[in-house]
Structure 1
Amino acid sequence: MACMSPAVSDPAGAGTGPGRRVRAASAAGASGAARATVLLRPARSTWAWVLAAAVTAALLLLVYCVFVTTQTGQLAEFMALEAATHRLEGLRGSTLAVLNRLPEIVGVAGVGVFLVLTVYRRRWFASLVAAMAFGAANLTTQLLKNWVLVRPDLDNGVPYYTGNSLPSGHTTFAAAAVVAVFLMVAPRWRPLTAAVGAVFATAVGAGTYIETWHRPADMVAAYLVAAFWGLVAGYVILRNGPDWNIRGTRSARHPHPGGHPLWDAALWAAGAAMLLGAWWGFESAGGTAALTAEPDWNSGWHFLYGVLFATGPGLLVFAALSGFFRWQSGRRRLAAPRD
């Protein structure tokens, strides 16, 4: 992270192009000493963006290795899916209709909000980059699922008829639409956008699992794919839009309602609680000792594990995105008084 240098008086004003600190003289304080406002450029720590993207990709690979290529992972996913299949038989009417349409509803709503923001704010370059990230996320999911990530046919009795389903295409579509909107809003609105968007994206993840379209880990992978491209696009947008990717001095003591740190805290707390709940449900069902490819019972605990594991990581992913973008947004700070 670039270190701040002392503010320098610039009566003529300073430039506002990307990659540059902007210094503007402010009114003299009560003591008569001039104070300068320093603006740190957005996306100033390239190394942090590269590291964040690399960690996201590594987590995606870890999810694949644990839940697709190992005996234990495949069995855990299979029993969770079997539990959902058993409960799906009891769902009828409007509930099934909502679950069937939920991915499309959330995805179309996200695209609609994105288009409104594009026209209203006229951030044409940012809109193009965000749209490209949305398309890249969905394309990446299809490439990974159908060509890159292979599901081995292990000798564990788990049926292979469905083949590889990681990442989830429905969940990627919804999560990537939310990320596109997240990229387009100003920093003061990003925490709220992340919180509300995470609820909708993870609702799609939960619904996709309950409908037995995907295994729980498929949704986790989808959130990570959307986050990866959100980071790539976010770096480009913040570097090329320094004039609107800025948080002012007011946000430190009196945060904007849409940018309050409590939104991030709520996502972290809810996501962590869901992950702990997923672990508790799995252990309550007997843990690894109870895993079998021929269950003679349908455990509600495995169903609980599946629902929580399909949603909790999504909340954590959006919490991490919000916090990271908060840190890397431009900042105005008052420099020390000058003699």
Structure 2
Amino acid sequence: MPAVLSDSPIRLRPARSTWAWALAMVVAVALVAVVFRVFVTTQSGQLTEYLSLEAASHRLQALQGSSLTVLNRLPQIVGVAGVVVFLVLTVYRRRWLASLVAALAFGAANLTTQVLKNWVLVRPDLENGVPYYTGNSLPSGHTTFAAAAVVAVFLMVAPRWRPLTATVGALFATAVGAATFIETWHRPADMVAAYLVAAFWGLAAGYVILRTGADWNTRGRRSRRYPHPGGHPGWDGALWAAGAALSLGAWGAFEAGGGTAALTSDPEWFSGWHFLTGLLMATGPGLLVFAALSAFFRWQTGRR
């Protein structure tokens, strides 16, 4: 059956809609700008993240021993694991050009984060009582490293494995986002921007990989009627549902913590609702980003 599929003509070529790839990349850039504008340059945005981060700081003091060690090491563990899997896929599949493009995207994502954080997205010092001691922090470098490593693996696997890879990878990437927040290394919006940076370069690299590797980025009719377990649409649906639930949960926790009326730089106590707001915000949008990435690649995969 594989030989027959490989010899059959391609009806729809991979990455056939150049306009859609360009639009998706523009949307990723626009969303980073929106996140920066709302949470970094406004009074309410800064106060929301301040309350979440301070609530996390108070809870961090209760963590000891192995729990703290795991949180400290999780970004490195996930990032290194992603790189190792990527190298194994490179050697096993021998898709040298695709490997080079994916590796360049990984490097570009991490470089982009450093450029944005250090020179472009400057955090203003507003007169709202929020300490300025952390300065620029958006996007998160730790989360970018992990998310970009996951994206590199996602680009290298065959289409029938991409939905499952996106789902598992999203769990690992958002776990790093959660750990980075709990450790109080970054504000929640920093992780959201990091997911979007990784997605932007995943789209840029994906367009090249699908265009130059049409043979292994094209599905047969049989695989559409009887989808491979790793490519079942249910994986995308689970990501969409979980991402939406967590993102809406972040809003609900914010409202439960008093909403905008509770925004102050000198609260009487740091509510657990504010901690939950930050935790869900650091994870939910990441699941949505990977869901969108998986669905987009499914749509742009070739068909025989």
Could you say which TM-score interval applies, normalised by the shorter chain?
over 0.9
Deviations 1:207-257 (A, max 9, x none): 000000000000000000000000000000000000100111122221100
Give the aligned partner of residue 297 of structure 2: 325
1:165-314 matches, within 5 Å, as 165-314=137-286
Distance in 2 separating the partners of 1:141 and 1:92: 31
Q: Compute the displacement of 1:58 (Å).
A: 0.2
Q: Is the 8 A contact 2:53 2:187 kept in 1?
A: yes
Q: Is the 8 A contact 2:199 2:293 kept in 1?
A: yes
1:112-191 matches, within 5 Å, as 112-191=84-163
SS at match of 2:148: helix
Which amino acid in 1 is paired with 2:189? A
Q: Is the 8 A contact 1:23 1:39 kept in 2?
A: no
Distance in 1 separating the partners of 2:303 and 2:74: 38
Asked whether 1:50 is paired with 2:22, we answer yes
Runs of 4+ residues over 2 Å off in structure 1: none
Distance in 2 separating the partners of 1:140 and 1:170: 13
SS at match of 2:180: helix
Q: Which has the higher contact order (CA 8 A, sep 6+)?
A: 2
Q: Compute the displacement of 1:100 (Å).
A: 0.2
SS at match of 1:161: coil
Distance in 2 separating the partners of 1:189 and 1:99: 29
Give the aligned partner of residue 93 of structure 1: 65
SS at match of 1:135: helix
Q: Is the 8 A contact 2:254 2:277 kept in 1?
A: yes
Deviations 1:5-25 (A, max 9, x none): xxxxxxxxxxxxxxxxx994x
1:10-89 matches, within 5 Å, as 24=8, 38-89=10-61
Unaligned runs of 5+ in 2: 1-5
Distance in 2 separating the partners of 1:277 and 1:251: 36
Which amino acid in 2 is paired with 1:205? G
Q: How many residue pairs are counted as aligned between the two chains?
A: 299
Q: Compute the displacement of 1:161 (Å).
A: 1.0
Distance in 1 separating the partners of 2:169 and 2:222: 25
Which amino acid in 2 is paired with 1:52? A
SS at match of 2:11: strand
Deviations 1:279-298 (A, max 9, x none): 01000000010000111201
Which amino acid in 2 is paired with 1:86? H
Q: Is the 8 A contact 1:137 1:176 kept in 2?
A: yes
Which amino acid in 2 is paired with 1:187? P
Q: Let me know the Cα RMSD of the aligned residues.
A: 1.0
Distance in 1 separating the partners of 2:252 and 2:24: 29
Give the aligned partner of residue 102 of structure 1: 74
Deviations 1:161-196 (A, max 9, x none): 110100000000000000000000000000000000
So what's the TM-score if we normalise by structure 2? 0.97
Distance in 1 separating the partners of 2:10 and 2:42: 52
Distance in 1 separating the partners of 2:7 and 2:90: 30
Q: Compute the displacement of 1:302 (Å).
A: 0.4
Deviations 1:273-317 (A, max 9, x none): 001110010000000100001112010000111110000000000
Q: Is the 8 A contact 2:113 2:144 kept in 1?
A: yes
Deviations 1:18-59 (A, max 9, x none): xxxx994xxxxxxxxxxxx55311000000000000001000
Distance in 1 separating the partners of 2:219 and 2:189: 36
Q: State which structure, 1 or 2, has the greater radius of gyration over its C-alpha atoms.
A: 1
Q: Compute the displacement of 1:93 (Å).
A: 0.3
